[in-house]
Amino acid sequence: MDLRSEQLADGVEKISLVGRMDSLGGHDIDLRFAALVASRKLLAVVDLSEVSFLASIGIRTLVINARAQALRGGGMALANPQPLVAEVLKMAGIDTIIPVYPDVHTACSALMAAAESR
Amino acid sequence: MSSREGGPQASLIVDSELRELSRVSAWVRDWAQHQCLPARVAQNLDLCSTEVVTNIMSHACGTCANGTRRIFLRLGWQGDDVTLDVEDEGSKFDLRQVPEPTPATSVLDARVGGWGIPIVRRFSDGLRYRHEDGRNCLTLLFRATAPP
């Protein structure tokens, strides 16, 4: 599994995850993901468009980092999940606690609007 | 689709080590491709096998008798259903008895783990369990037709 990051706007980071998000994939990215998302306050858009597979261990990674960011006063959103990944997120109710958007641009705008209204 | 009862089977034995997970997934996907399963059925099979095997690797085999640390897998057909049998020699564990998790109301109170068994329930079409000769014997069923 791979991870790429890119600054979209001031305080907004896009994190693109690539590959199978299972136990092995988690080993590949968990430390880098936490270093990017959980170590400082920011608005994080996690692009899931290249995640082909999301297992329960991947849900764990998403929840831990979204929680860490919420505790820092920032925010995290998910963008563009493939159909099976979206269904796993919905089944676990993750889409009700971490917002999911159809694309990165919409996710970025929503996060910025929510931050301005706080 | 006509019944494929008695159709091609495949079996695999893996060590209870996370590094084996990629071998399990490759084996499942290869079999699904050879059986020309609909993509969605193959995905569900891949997802559920990953969850069940990960659960055994993470929780069960620390308690295996006689130092056995292997997981036995078999894919086959029962009528028009694909069957995945998974056996291990860990402590008796019937995942059907595990209660459903309580839905979270915010990311601050969400559970971080325990989603594997709900995933198996949701993405398979049936579960059978028995404990026999010191082994947990779990069978997952998958309807081999694509959902609407």
pLDDT tens profile A56-110? 999 999 999 999 999 999 999 999 999 999 999 999 999 999 999 999 999 999 9
Confirm or reject CATH 3.30.565.10 for domain B10-143, answering yes or no.
yes
Quick one: DSSP state of residue B89?
A: -
Chain A residue at shortest CA distance from B117: A56
State how far residue B41 is from chain A, nearest Cα, in angstroms: 11
Residue with token string 């056995």: B68
Pairing between β-strand A100-101 and β-strand A75-79 as defined by DSSP bridges: parallel
pLDDT score, position A118: 77
Is the Cβ of B39 closer than 8 Å to some Cβ of chain A?
no
Q: With beta carbons under 8 A apart, name residues in chain A contacting B122.
A: 91
Domain boundaries along the sequence of chain B: 10-143
Residue with token string 């059925």: B41
pLDDT score, position B148: 43
| Full-model pTM | 0.91
CB atoms B50 and A59 under 8 Å = no
Is the Cβ of B102 closer than 8 Å to some Cβ of chain A?
no
B22-67 residue pLDDT tens: 999 999 999 999 999 999 999 999 999 999 999 999 877 555 555 5
Mean pLDDT (whole number) for A6-33: 93
B68-104: buried (b, 16+ CB within 10 Å) or exposed (e) per residue? ebebebebbbeeebbbbbbbbbbeebebeeeeeeeeb
Quick one: DSSP state of residue A92?
A: T
State how far residue A34 is from chain B, nearest Cα, in angstroms: 14
- Three-state SS at B71: strand
The confidence band for B1, taking pLDDT boundaries of 50, 70 and 90, is very low
CATH number, domain at A109? 3.30.750.24
CB atoms A59 and B115 under 8 Å = yes
Domain count, chain A: 1
Residue with token string 């920032």: A74
Q: Choose the most confident range, by mean pLDDT, from A8-12, A42-46, A113-117.
A: A42-46
- Full domain range(s) for residue A37: 2-117
Is the Cβ of B113 closer than 8 Å to some Cβ of chain A?
yes
Instruction: Enumerate residues 6+ apart whose C-beta is below 8 A from A93.
Output: B103, B104
B109-138 residue pLDDT tens: 888 888 999 999 999 999 999 999 999 999
